């Protein structure tokens, strides 16, 4: 997975603020950790935006032990679910991390951060079908599901991205993405290390910090559309910032649709057209505009090398049209696919059809094969700030609050977040403070799942069968 760790060299691999590691140093640290991990079934990583997380993940991958990245802001209910479902042998967390009580029972191993003599990373790798990651992702109902990603999905996908983005060891990537999802962790950390390039992680995203990096050594940036929206606003207000961003070789957006307006605004101020790519936890990246391709707004480009993509109608019939109009659900097949949902054969069977993965995303194809995503099959999935969030899990959490009698959760268009989470609440007595309901969800699930708007109702619109009519709420 990491040829440059086997050889080791003095090139900077990772930088978090003042903290840097070369390939040679990272190789020694990863090998030392791997020695302690070999033979374990699975390890949880407390995935803060720090060097510790990267060393932990690389060490586990070197040892061939699957990593379960955990959002360090995870709420108590979600944490219990992840631990019960994935049953990790131990936890890897930074020595100064403040851990919630839910982790007290899990043995903890320190992450080595000071290079010392050790046997460097061995060149023999585990089998390509060995799981590399178990990443939790929301569905429409119930708690998040653990997506089991084999090593072959990771390596084949990263190599396909390198080809289309002309991504090499010379590149310095900057991003401020969280390290518990595939975007920031797999594409944004493992991707860099596989190429032998450098990652400068911002800790947290800001336009100013990103611009400073791109005015310096950084050549590429990854971000979700919310980050590019903020960047578009900031570049309009500050020409120096726009010039710095304009110096990038490649700006890549993904995890949600980049509005055409933000694409054009950034192009106007920076001269840069953002390259859009389309992915999913279960499939890693499926499509991307090539670095040398036509970077047109609203399009995620053709399928990546090695990824087969088709559009199907409601009956599962394949749609051959490439007319920019015929809408179908995207199905994909290839080495990029996951192995299944952990402990959820039923859910795995439901999304696979003859080896094709049903994404739930609706799209059209242009004559030249470019895919344009036009919507999503499930109204109960919300994409906010690039995070996928199931309406059902938020409804279940809110129903546990004593002041909530009935609730429906929807997504509403939001300029900054793409969609914002709205809770429609029938109170059981006096209406509670909306902030209290937001805190309740943040505490049980995660802060990014909290409702941004709470609307109180006397009753929810329902059909004759008693089912809540969510479309009537948003209409
Ligand atoms: C606010 N906060 C609370 C709170 N209200 N904490 C507890 N309780 C409450 N009631 C805290 C938050 O924890 C956070 O802390 C801070 O306030 C602001 O939170 P936020 O409102 O969520 O931040 P925001 O600025 O809106 O975030 C925007 C964002 C973020 C773009 C930076 O949404 C983000 O990082 N998105 C990336 C998502 C991503 O990586 N998706 C990839 C999925 S993979 P603090 O400490 O942070 O300030 C995928 C596949 C693919 O989709 O194709 O890539
Ligand atoms: P996740 O489950 O968090 O991995 O989210 C995957 C989903 O994000 C996909 O199914 C799409 O709905 C959405 N997505 C990712 N990239 C894009 C994109 N470039 N344009 C539109 N939607 C996207």
For strands 220-223 and 250-253, give the pairing.
parallel
For a pLDDT cut of 70, what percent of the chain falls above it? 99
pLDDT digits (tens, 9 = 90+) for 238-275: 999 999 999 999 999 999 999 999 999 999 999 999 99
For position 6, what pLDDT does the model report?
86
pLDDT digits (tens, 9 = 90+) for 358-403: 999 999 999 999 999 999 999 899 999 999 999 999 999 999 999 9
- For Cα atoms 103, 107, 113, give the angle at the middle one, nearest 5 degrees: 100
Residues enclosing ligand 1, CB less than 6 A?
73, 177-178, 181-184, 205, 224, 226-227, 254-255, 279-281, 385-387, 438-439, 442, 447-448, 450
Of 306, 256, 418, 280, give the one whose Cα is nearest residue 359: 280
Output the CA 304–ligand 2 centroid distance in Å: 15
Per-residue DSSP letter, 467: -
The residue whose CA has the least distance to atom 11 of ligand 1 is 447
Which atom of ligand 1 is the closest one to the Cα of 204? 32
Output the CA 281–ligand 2 centroid distance in Å: 8
Helix (H) or strand (E) segment spanning residue 211: helix 207-215
pLDDT of residue 118 exceeding 70: no
3-class DSSP state of 37: helix
Output the CA 448–ligand 1 centroid distance in Å: 5
Which bin fits 404, alpha (ψ -120 to 50), beta or left (φ > 0)? beta
Going from the C-alpha of 468 to that of each of 232, 259, 374, 424, 457, the distances in angstroms are 38, 30, 25, 11, 13
Summary count for the chain: helices (H), strands (E): 14, 26
The residue whose CA has the least distance to atom 19 of ligand 2 is 278
Structure tokens at 190: 């493992």
For position 475, what pLDDT does the model report?
67
Residue with the two structure tokens 């699957």: 66
Q: What is the rounded CA–CA span in Å between residue 219 and residue 374?
A: 31
Cβ-based neighbour number of residue 239 at 10 Å: 12
pLDDT of residue 115 exceeding 80: no
Residues written for the chain: 475
7-13 long-range contacts, CB within 8 A, separation 24+: 8/120, 8/121, 11/169, 11/196, 11/198, 12/198, 13/192, 13/193, 13/198, 13/199
Output the CA 389–ligand 1 centroid distance in Å: 12
Residue 156, ligand 2, Cβ within 6 A: no
């Amino acid at each position: 997975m990491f040829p440059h760790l086997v050889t080791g060299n003095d090139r900077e691999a990772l930088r978090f603020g003042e903290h840097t590691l070369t390939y040679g140093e990272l190789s020694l640290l990863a090998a030392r950790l791997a020695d302690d991990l070999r033979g374990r079934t699975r390890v949880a990583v407390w995935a803060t935006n720090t060097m510790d997380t990267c060393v932990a993940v690389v060490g586990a991958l070197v040892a061939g032990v699957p990593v379960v990245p955990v959002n360090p802001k995870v709420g108590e209910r979600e944490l219990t679910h992840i631990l019960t479902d994935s049953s990790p042998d131990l936890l890897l967390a930074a020595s100064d991390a403040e851990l919630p009580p839910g982790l007290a029972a899990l043995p903890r191993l320190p992450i080595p951060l000071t290079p010392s003599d050790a046997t460097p990373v061995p060149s023999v790798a585990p089998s390509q079908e060995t799981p590399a990651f178990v990443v939790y992702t929301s569905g429409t109902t119930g708690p998040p599901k653990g997506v089991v990603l084999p090593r072959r999905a990771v390596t084949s996908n990263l190599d396909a991205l390198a080809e289309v983005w002309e991504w090499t060891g010379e590149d310095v990537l900057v991003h401020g993405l969280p390290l518990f999802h595939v975007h920031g962790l797999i594409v944004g950390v493992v991707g860099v290390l596989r190429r032998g390039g450098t990652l400068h992680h911002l800790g947290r995203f800001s336009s100013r910090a990103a611009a400073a990096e791109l005015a310096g050594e950084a050549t590429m940036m990854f971000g979700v559309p919310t980050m590019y929206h903020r960047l578009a606003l900031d570049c309009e207000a500050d020409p120096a910032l726009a010039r710095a961003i304009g110096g990038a070789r490649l700006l890549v957006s993904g995890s949600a649709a980049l509005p055409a307006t933000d694409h054009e605004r950034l192009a106007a101020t920076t001269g840069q057209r953002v390259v859009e790519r389309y992915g999913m936890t279960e499939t890693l990246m499926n499509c991307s505009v090539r670095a040398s391709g036509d970077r047109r707004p609203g399009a995620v480009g053709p399928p990546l090398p090695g990824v087969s993509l088709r559009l199907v109608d409601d009956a599962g019939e394949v749609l051959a049209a490439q007319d920019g109009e015929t809408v179908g659900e995207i199905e994909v097949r290839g080495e990029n696919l996951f192995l299944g949902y952990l402990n959820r054969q039923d859910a795995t069977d439901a999304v696979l059809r003859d080896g094709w993965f049903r994404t739930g995303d609706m799209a059209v194809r242009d004559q030249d094969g470019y895919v344009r995503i036009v919507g999503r099959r499930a109204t109960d999935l919300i994409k906010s700030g690039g995070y996928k969030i199931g309406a059902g899990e938020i409804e279940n959490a809110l129903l546990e609050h004593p002041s909530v009698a009935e609730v429906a959760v929807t997504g509403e268009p939001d300029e900054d977040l793409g969609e914002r989470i709205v809770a429609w609440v029938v109170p059981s007595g006096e209406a509670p403070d909306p902030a209290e309901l937001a805190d309740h969800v943040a505490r049980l699930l995660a802060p990014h799942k909290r409702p941004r708007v709470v609307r109180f109702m006397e009753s929810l619109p329902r059909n004759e069968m008693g089912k809540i009519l969510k479309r009537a709420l948003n209409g």
